[in-house]
């Protein structure tokens, strides 16, 4: 046999070996089998009483663990471990399908589907582990279980040959990379929110044991003797006034600073500086300005006016605090300046040629092109100011000399939550206020999103 023929035969032999070698999904199937065995071992250990947790309890979970001991029936844990056994059997089948269909493009969609189901079950196990085990002591199991799921999603996307393969592969890759962010949302947002709602169903004051109260804490928020309804009205009035004033003020300053004026960099720094000053310092300075002998009252008195207790009169507290918040809106000014710089100059030139004046160009071109920036600033400002608490803590919590009656306009929702939950120790009532504040902020956010479709303009067509 000649040398070229030998080389060609060796090449065919190598290709045959490569085709027979286990593929990525075959390796994933073997890994699924190993994790199925681990899942079954954990389930059996839990049913037989063998400890599979590390015993580490973060300090922040002490209250959640205390509540769990009253809420979780003893019969739930055996059911959870039985679920793990069923989950182990399911993972055996997932591993089997991964190995036999690992090189079958027609089964790519099926493998992707079972991968998504497996990932959803792991997320449920993770949430249960955080809620009903000792802190983070059992999270090791669901966290390492994410590895085969991500491998299966990745491998199934590569062999899926259905129409739109590239789009699905890109979407699947994006979802895989979103898993860490999604886990962060679960642990930092969704689980604490569920815990808050769970605590709100109990009448609980440390050091006494919690007693189940159902929705009584939520109903009592709006009872005649509760300050909560008044705090809701005060907070909404403050938030709306601050947002409206802030949007107008920031737009005017951004328009002025966007022009070519001498010392523009200096003025930009001056208007941004209040944003980086600590909020406590800002409100303390303005409290001195608003006092009976402060600068504003001295000016009013010079012109024959009467001195006003700005921070003690319910009629003036909200506007006075709104001015402070608007004064610190340097971040909004910077964002709007960036938005103004991105308004296409060609639009203004075309409108100017057509005879449009400055006011018409502002309303017909600048505002529509700036609408996404305005929407973002409005949304963030609304959420921020609905949770205002520093003015209440400084002027009521810190106290002023001679103050015996707390003005009702200082009682924002966040302050009521703080004074009830942490000040008086009524954790159930405080949790009910917290959940109610979440619902209220969510309602206004949803309204803003729903109405934005009528006035939002995206130059590139906008989100689909």
Rounded CA gap, 14 and 2, in Å?
Answer: 19
For residue 361, give the nearest of 379, 345, 380 by alpha carbon.
345
Closest to 447 measured CA to CA, from 344, 375, 395, 369: 375
CB 77 within 8 A of CB 10: no
Residue 17 main-chain phi, psi, to 5 deg:
-65, -40
The confidence score (pLDDT) of residue 459 equals: 64
| DSSP 8-state assignment for residue 410 | G
Distance, CA of 83 to CA of 416 (rounded, Å) = 42
Q: Domain containing 19: what range?
A: 3-200
Of 146, 158, 118, the closest CA to residue 25 belongs to: 158
Q: Are 280 and 172 members of one domain?
A: no
> Last residue of some domain: 172, 200, 228?
200
Q: Are residues 117 and 184 in the same domain?
A: yes
Flag whether 389 is in a domain. yes
Does the residue 77 lie in any domain?
yes
pLDDT at 230: 84
pLDDT of residue 289: 86
CA 304, CA 162: separation in Å to the nearest integer? 82
Instruction: Name the nearest CA neighbour of 455 among 343, 388, 373.
Output: 373
pLDDT in the model for residue 246: 92
**Both 307 and 175 in a single domain?**
no
CATH at residue 224: 1.10.3720.10
Which residues are 212's β-sheet partners? Answer: 202
Give, for all 464 residues of the chain, the pLDDT tens digit. Answer: 555 555 445 444 444 433 444 578 888 888 899 988 988 888 888 778 766 555 544 444 445 555 566 666 666 778 888 888 999 999 999 888 888 888 787 788 888 888 889 988 888 887 777 666 655 567 777 878 888 888 888 788 777 777 666 776 777 777 778 878 887 887 778 877 887 888 888 888 777 777 888 888 888 887 777 778 888 888 999 999 999 999 999 999 999 888 888 888 888 888 888 888 888 888 888 888 888 787 888 888 888 777 877 877 777 888 888 998 899 888 899 999 988 888 888 888 888 888 888 888 888 888 888 888 899 999 999 999 998 888 877 766 444 444 445 566 678 888 888 888 877 778 888 888 889 899 999 999 999 988 888 887 776 555 54
What is d(CA 427, CA 421) in angstroms, rounded to the nearest whole number? 5
Task: Choose one of 133, 166, 200: the last residue of a domain.
Answer: 200
Same domain, 194 and 243: no
**Residue 401 · residue 392 · CB < 8 Å:** no
Quote the pLDDT of residue 145: 85
Whether 249 and 173 share a structural domain: no
Domains contained in the chain, number: 2
Same domain, 193 and 224: no
Torsion, Cα 178 378 454 345, to 10 degrees, reads -90
Are residues 134 and 230 both part of a single domain?
A: no
Are residues 229 and 178 both part of a single domain? Answer: no
Which helix (DSSP H) or strand (DSSP E) does residue 212 occupy? strand 211-212
Examine the fold and report which residue of 200, 234, 264 is the final residue of a domain before the chain moves on.
200
Is residue 377 in a domain? yes
Nearest-CA neighbor of 64 among 143, 134, 138? 134
Q: pTM score > 0.95 for this model?
A: no
d(CA 171, CA 168): 5
Task: Examine the domain organization and report whether 226 and 313 are in the same domain.
Answer: yes
CA dihedral 450, 453, 454, 458 (to 10 degrees): 160
Q: Is residue 34 part of a domain?
A: yes
Q: Which two tokens stand for residue 395?
A: 């002027």
Predicted confidence at residue 241, as pLDDT, reads 92
Q: How many CB atoms lie within 10 A of CB 451?
A: 11
pLDDT, position 63: 52
Q: Which tokens sit at 451?
A: 């109405």
460 domain residue, yes or no: no
Judge if the upstream peptide bond of residue 207 is cis by omega within 30 degrees of 0: yes
With a CB cutoff of 8 Å and minimum separation 6, the contacts of 137 are 53, 54, 55, 56, 57
Strand intervals (E) in 136-248: 202-203, 211-212
Q: How deeply is 135 buried, as exposed, middle or buried, from its count of CB atoms within 10 A (0-12, 13-18, 19+)?
A: buried
- How many CB atoms are closer than 10 A to CB 394? 19
C-beta separation of 254 from 377 below 8 A: no
Q: How far from 458 is each of 353, 364, 464, CA to CA, in Å?
A: 24, 14, 11
Residue 364, domain member (yes or no): yes
CA distance 79 to 394: 50
What angle (nearest 5°) sits at the alpha carbon of residue 248, between those of residues 452 and 455? 20
Find out whether 217 and 421 touch, Cβ atoms under 8 Å: no
Asked whether residue 147 is domain-assigned, the answer is yes
Determine the Cα–Cα distance for residues 22 and 156; give it in Å rounded to an integer.
15
**Is residue 210 included in any domain, yes or no?**
no
Same domain, 87 and 226: no
Same domain, 135 and 255: no
Q: Give dist(CA 152, CA 219) in Å, integer.
A: 48
Q: How many C-beta atoms lie closer than 10 Å to residue 264's C-beta? A: 13
Nearest of 156, 119, 175, 221 to residue 433 by alpha carbon = 221
Q: Which residue has the tokens 């269909």?
A: 101
Cα–Cα distance for residue pair 216/202, rounded to 1 Å: 9
Mark whether 156 and 87 lie in a shared domain. yes
């Amino acid at each position: 046999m000649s040398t070229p023929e030998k080389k060609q035969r060796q090449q065919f032999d190598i290709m045959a070996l490569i085709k027979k070698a286990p593929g990525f999904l075959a390796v994933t199937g073997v890994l699924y089998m190993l994790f199925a065995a681990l899942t079954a071992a954990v389930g059996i250990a839990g049913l037989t009483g063998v400890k599979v947790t590390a015993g580490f309890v973060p300090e922040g979970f002490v209250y959640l663990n205390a509540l769990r001991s009253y809420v979780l029936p003893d019969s739930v844990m055996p059911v959870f471990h039985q679920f793990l056994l069923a989950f182990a059997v399911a993972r055996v089948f997932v591993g089997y399908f991964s190995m036999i269909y690992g090189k079958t493009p027609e089964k790519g969609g099926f493998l992707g589907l079972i991968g998504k189901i497996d990932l959803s079950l792991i997320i449920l196990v993770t949430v249960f582990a955080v809620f009903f085990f000792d802190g983070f002591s059992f999270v090791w199991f669901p966290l390492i279980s994410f590895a085969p799921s991500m491998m299966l999603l990745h491998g199934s996307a590569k062999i899926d040959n259905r129409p739109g393969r590239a789009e699905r592969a890109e979407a699947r890759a994006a979802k895989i990379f979103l898993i860490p962010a999604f886990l962060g949302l679960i642990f930092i947002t969704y689980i604490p929110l569920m815990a808050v709602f769970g605590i709100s169903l109990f009448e609980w004051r440390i050091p006494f044991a919690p007693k189940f109260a159902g929705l009584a804490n939520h109903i009592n928020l709006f009872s005649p003797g509760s300050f909560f309804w008044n705090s809701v009205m005060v907070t909404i009035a403050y938030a709306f006034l601050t947002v409206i004033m802030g949007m107008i003020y920031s737009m005017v300053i951004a328009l002025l600073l966007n022009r070519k004026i001498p010392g523009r960099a200096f003025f930009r720094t001056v208007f941004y500086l209040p944003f980086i000053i600590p909020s406590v310092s800002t409100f303390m300075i303005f409290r001195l300005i608003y006092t009976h002998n402060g600068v504003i009252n001295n000016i009013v008195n010079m012109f024959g006016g009467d001195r006003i207790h700005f921070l003690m009169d319910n009629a003036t507290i909200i506007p006075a605090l709104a001015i402070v918040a608007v004064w610190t809106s340097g971040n909004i000014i910077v964002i709007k300046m960036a938005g103004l710089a991105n308004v296409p100059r060609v639009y203004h030139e075309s409108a100017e040629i057509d005879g449009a004046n400055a006011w018409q160009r502002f309303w017909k071109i600048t505002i529509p092109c700036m609408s996404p920036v305005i929407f973002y600033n409005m949304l963030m400002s609304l959420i921020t100011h609905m949770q205002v608490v520093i003015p209440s803590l400084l002027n009521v919590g810190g106290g002023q000399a001679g103050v015996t009656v707390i003005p009702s306009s200082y009682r924002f929702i966040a302050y009521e939550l703080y004074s009830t939950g942490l000040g008086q120790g009524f954790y159930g009532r405080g949790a009910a206020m917290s959940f109610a504040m979440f619902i209220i902020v969510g309602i206004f956010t949803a309204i803003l999103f729903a109405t934005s479709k009528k006035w939002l303009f995206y130059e590139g067509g906008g989100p689909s």
